[in-house]
Amino acid sequence: MNLTQPALLRIGMGLFIAAVCAVIAGCAAPAMHPDTGGDPVIYVIAGDRGQSEVRAVIAGGDCPVLIADGAPLRMQTRAAPQTLAQRPTQSQAALSKPSAFPVRVCEASLAPSVHSATVLGRPVPLMKAVPRRIVVIGDTGCRIKASDNAVQDCLIDKEWPFPTLASKAATERPDLVVHVGDYHYRETACPPGRAGCAGSPWGYGWDAWDADLFAPASQLLAAAPWVVARGNHEECLRAGQGWFRLLEPRPFAPQRSCDQAVNDDEADFSEPYAVALGEGWQLIVFDSARAGNGALKPANVRDANIFAHYQKEMQTVAALAAAPGMHSIFISHHPVLGLVPANTFLPHGAGGNLAMLAVMKSLNGNAYYPPQIAAAMHGHVHVFEALAFTTGQPPTIVAGHGGDTLDNDLPEPLPAGASPAEGVSIGSVVHSGGFGYLVMDRKQGGWQLSAKRLDGAVLVTCELTASGLTCDRQGAVK
C-alpha cells in the first residue's frame, strides 16, 4: 500500500496522541468527523468572567484530553449521542422530523491564565486579554424553509457565499470572532428537482448544523474564540436543541435544552453576560431569540412573559455596563435602533424591534439604553448598516449580511424623517445590500471598523469611540 505524505502525517500524529494517552491513563483514539470522515470539530466559545469553553464534537467514544500549559485535563461530556423525539417546531409536523445528534459534544473550561492548549494535538485558540482584531459576522446559514417557499442554492457559491466569506475572514487573523446570531437555516428538505440544494441535510439535528456552520466555518473556528449571540433561528421552536448542545456558553441542563416544549418559556431566555476586551472595553451579550417582529400585547400571557424576562435582563445589562471606566458594546440579534428595508411583508419598511424598544423605553425612556453603552451591534436584517444619532443614543451597527438570503437594501436617500424609534433622529447612515463582514481593529481610544465585501475589499471605514461613530462615507456603498 502506498501512503501519501498527508496520510503519513496523520499516522504520525495518531501515534503521538496514543503515546500521550498511555501516559495519562488512556484517552480514546481520535474520533473521526461523522459526516466528512475528517477530524473532530474543535472550537472555543468565549463566556463570562473571562472563561473560555473549549468544545470538541466527536463521533463517539470517550471525550479527548485537553493539554493546558502541559497539564492533561479530561474533557467532559456536555451532550451524549442521542436522537431526540420530534417536538413541535415552527414547521408543520409533516415537514419536520426527530433531531438526530449522533455525536458526542465534549467540553472543558479554560481560565484566562492559560497560555497554551491543545486537543488531539491541535492548537486551541485562546482568548487574549486585549484582543486587537475582531471579525463580526451574522445570519450565515443557507435558507431552506418550505413555509415561506424560500430556498437558497446551498451548493452554488454566489447564492450561498458563507463558505467563501468564512475562509476569507479567517485570513484576517482575528483575535476574536463575534457572530450576531442566526447560524442555522436548513429547516425543511430541499424541494424535489432543485439541483442547487440537492441532497442538503435538513431539520434541526447535527447534520444540518454541520452543513450550515461547522463545515463551512472550520478555518474561522480554528482561528479564534467565538462570542455567540442567539438569534431567532435558535429559539426552541427551531434550532434551539443544537444551540444548547453546541454553542451556549453556560453548562448544559435538560430544563434548558429545548428538548421538551413545556420548558420553552424558560429556555428561550438567558441571562446577559459580559466578555472583557481589555483597555476599558467589553461586550455585553443579550439573548433576544424570542423578541419576534411585532409589538407585545400586555394582556397576552406569552407576551407578558417576554416583557418580564427582557425587563429583568436589561436591568442586568445596566449593572454590567455600570462598571467604572468601562465602555460597553451591546450585542443582540434583533436590532433595537436599526432600520428594516421595505419587503413583501413590510411595504414601507420598519424601525427597531418593537418588543425590545418597549422594554428598554420602560427602563430608560427615549435613551433606550442605560449609560455607558458606547455602541450596539446586531444581525437579523440581512444588510449592512451603520447609524449615528443626533439625539444621544448609542450608534448602531447591523451586520446580518453573512450568507443567508439578502434583504433589499435601504432606500437612497432615506425618506425624510426616517427613524428607528420614537425620540431618535438619524445624524448619519451608511449601508450596503451585498454580502460581507466587518473587521474591528483597536485604535487609541476605541476601534476602527472596516466593512468588507466577500473579497475583502473595504467598502467603508468608521471610527468608534466612547464619543460616537464617524464614517468616511455616507449613504449607499457597493
d(Cα 341, Cα 411) in Å, to the nearest integer? 7
Task: Average the pLDDT over 158-186 and give the result.
Answer: 99
Task: Average the pLDDT over 193-222 and give the result.
Answer: 99
d(Cα 383, Cα 397) in Å, to the nearest integer? 10
Task: Average the pLDDT over 423-448 and give the result.
Answer: 98
HSE value, Cβ hemisphere, 13 Å, CA-based, for 183: 32
| Rounded percentage of the chain residues whose pLDDT exceeds 90 | 89
Task: Average the pLDDT over 41-67 and give the result.
Answer: 95
Whole-structure pTM value: 0.92
Task: Average the pLDDT over 50-68 and give the result.
Answer: 96
* Structure confidence at residue 38 (pLDDT): 56
Task: Give 50's pLDDT tier (boundaries 50, 70, 90).
Answer: confident
pLDDT at 239 over 90: yes
What CATH number labels 122-476?
Answer: 3.60.21.10
* Structure confidence at residue 28 (pLDDT): 30
- CA 84 from chain center: how many Å? 24
Q: What is the pLDDT of residues 260-301, one digit of tens each?
A: 999 999 999 999 999 999 999 999 999 999 999 999 999 999
Task: Average the pLDDT over 221-246 and give the result.
Answer: 99
Task: Average the pLDDT over 205-230 and give the result.
Answer: 99
pLDDT at 31 over 50: no
Task: Average the pLDDT over 127-154 and give the result.
Answer: 97
Task: Average the pLDDT over 3-30 and give the result.
Answer: 35
pLDDT at 345 over 80: no
Q: What is the pLDDT of residues 347-374, one digit of tens each?
A: 878 999 999 999 999 999 999 999 999 9
* Structure confidence at residue 221 (pLDDT): 99
* Structure confidence at residue 344 (pLDDT): 73
* Structure confidence at residue 347 (pLDDT): 83
Give the domain ranges of the chain. 5-119, 122-476
* Structure confidence at residue 415 (pLDDT): 93
Q: Rounded mean pLDDT of the chain?
A: 93
The answer to whether the CB of 306 falls within 8 A of the CB of 355 is yes
